[in-house]
Amino acid sequence: MPRRLLIVGSGTAGLMVANLTARALHAQLRRHEVEITVVGEREDYVYQPGFLYVAFDLMDPQNLTRPVRDLLDPGVQFVRDRAERVDPDAHTVALAGGQVLPYDYLVLATGSQIQPQEVPGLAEGAHWFYTLDGAIRLREALQEMQGGRVVLAVGIPHKCPVAPVEFTLMLDAWARGRGVRERFDITYTYPVARAHTIPAVAEFAEKEFARRDIACETFFNMEAVDPAQRVLHSQEGSDVPYDLLVAVPPHQGDALGAASGLAGAGNWYPTDRQLLRVAGHDDIFAVGDTTDIPVSKAGSVAHFESEVLADNLVGLLADGRRPGHAYTGRAFCFIETGLDEATYISFDFLHPPTVPTPSRSIHLFKTTYNQIHWANLKAVI
């Protein structure tokens, strides 16, 4: 009987775990000693960091998607369906289509989704760049805009932690590039007492905002949006009028967690931050956005976590070896600071980041990575 690895989720983390494990266990896969199956709802994978670039017409939406099957190791099975319930006692996952898939080891890589309905009026009144459709709509709105008041508002938690700062700085550069910056009034709002939860990013952002005449209002938690009057209301009592509202909606984990009785608040899985095991289960792991680990929800985190998890799964599947690789909280995030300059932050559980001086070469590094990240997904590099 083959040892079965079942991965729910065909996003960044799901694909990387599948491909890294398959690459290391090719021989066992060929001999049918191991089976690896990925369950995903969508036929296509979408490169989410590209949405920000779509909004500014810097990337073609068509270049952001590829069929999941093309990105998976040939030794991995792909089942296109929605997972509805995990039964940890029976070691099975029930799918919407009726199939019940058994597992010896289960990886939950179901990501996070925006929940605009959590803020009344947000869906009707705001744009966002957290879905492909949303980014395309925002691109069209920006292209029609000759000036006015643009307000950015953030709900937490959300994935891609520095994206609000990136969007704001890119908007400033975009308007300058069109020669219309004087006609725009840009306001950045943030829910906590500084411009970002990461202190170094907050310090960097506050200086840049001041330098570029971008208003910054902190302690601003979205309460409701009046789409007719075009006013954003905060829990703290501020009322901010806008011509264009760009929001980062609050996020939640996938409903599978709640349906299975495995997830906690926000539908995030309570997860051991080093071994990535779901609390109380030796054979269930969580990776990427879907965990409750106190680390940014970011593609790089999914990547670093996936390598650790894959190494541990290889040991378990090959010879039952106890997991010995630990995730250190490592993350790496680019920060676009305009349309041709960028910086980055790199940190882990023990070492907070600093923000280097932005440069063109970092921007080129990021845009190059936008084109070649598929190689990471496929575990080629």
Partner 1 sequence: MSVTLPAPTEAPNLALEGVNLANAVFASLTPHMVTRFGEVAESAATALDVLTAPEILSLLRRTQELAPLLEQGLALLAAMAGPDAGDAARLADAAQKASLAAAAPGRPVGLRELLALRREPAVQHALRFVVALVRNLRAA
Burial of 62 (0-12, 13-18, 19+ CB in 10 A): exposed
Residues between 261 and 280 that touch partner 1 (CB under 8 A): none
Q: Over the range 245-274, which residues count as b (16 or more CB within 10 Å of their CB) and which as e?
A: bbbbbbbbbbebbeebebbeeebbbbbbbe
User: What are the tokens at 216?
Assistant: 């910054």
Assess contact for 228 and 217: CB atoms under 8 A.
no
Give yes or no for residue 315 binding partner 1 (CB under 8 A).
Answer: no
Amino acid identity of residue 181, one-letter, is R
In the complex with partner 1, which residue's Cβ is closer, 227 or 352?
352
Angle, CA of 157, 163 and 166, to the nearest 5°:
150
Contact track, partner 1, 179-218, x by CB under 8 A = --xx----------------------------xxx-----
Give yes or no for residue 380 binding partner 1 (CB under 8 A).
Answer: yes
Question: Which listed range, 56-64, 176-184, 245-253, 272-280, lies at the site for partner 1 (CB under 8 A)?
Answer: 176-184
In the complex with partner 1, which residue's Cβ is closer, 158 or 303?
303
In Å, how far from its chain's centre is CA 177? Answer: 29
Please select the residue that binds partner 1; options are 117, 229, 235, 346, rule is CB under 8 A.
Answer: 346
In Å, how far from its chain's centre is CA 133? Answer: 16
Question: Which listed range, 135-143, 149-157, 272-280, 372-380, lies at the site for partner 1 (CB under 8 A)?
Answer: 372-380
Give yes or no for residue 379 binding partner 1 (CB under 8 A).
Answer: yes
Residues between 10 and 39 that touch partner 1 (CB under 8 A): 20
Measured distance CA(147)–CA(365) in Å, rounded: 31
Angle, CA of 166, 171 and 177, to the nearest 5°:
125
Measured distance CA(223)–CA(350) in Å, rounded: 34
Give yes or no for residue 300 binding partner 1 (CB under 8 A).
Answer: yes
Please state the closest distance from residue 78 (CB atom) to partner 1, in A: 22
User: Which DSSP symbol is given to 81?
Assistant: S
User: What are the tokens at 199?
Assistant: 């202190």
Query: In which order are the strands placed within the sheet that holds 92-95?
Result: 83-87, 92-95, 100-102
Sign of CA dihedral 57, 133, 295, 214: positive
Give yes or no for residue 296 binding partner 1 (CB under 8 A).
Answer: no
Give yes or no for residue 365 binding partner 1 (CB under 8 A).
Answer: yes
Question: Which listed range, 145-153, 221-229, 303-311, 313-321, lies at the site for partner 1 (CB under 8 A)?
Answer: 303-311
Please state the closest distance from residue 137 (CB atom) to partner 1, in A: 27
Give yes or no for residue 356 binding partner 1 (CB under 8 A).
Answer: yes
Give yes or no for residue 133 binding partner 1 (CB under 8 A).
Answer: no
Amino acid identity of residue 282, one-letter, is D
In the complex with partner 1, which residue's Cβ is closer, 49 or 191?
49
Please select the residue that binds partner 1; options are 209, 220, 304, 327, rule is CB under 8 A.
Answer: 304
Contact track, partner 1, 56-95, x by CB under 8 A = ----------------------------------------
In the complex with partner 1, which residue's Cβ is closer, 279 or 372?
372
Residues between 94 and 113 that touch partner 1 (CB under 8 A): none
Give yes or no for residue 362 binding partner 1 (CB under 8 A).
Answer: yes
Sign of CA dihedral 215, 173, 333, 65: positive
Q: Which residues bind partner 1 (CB under 8 A)?
A: 20, 176, 181-182, 211-213, 300, 303-304, 307, 332, 344, 346, 356-357, 359-362, 365, 369, 376, 379-381
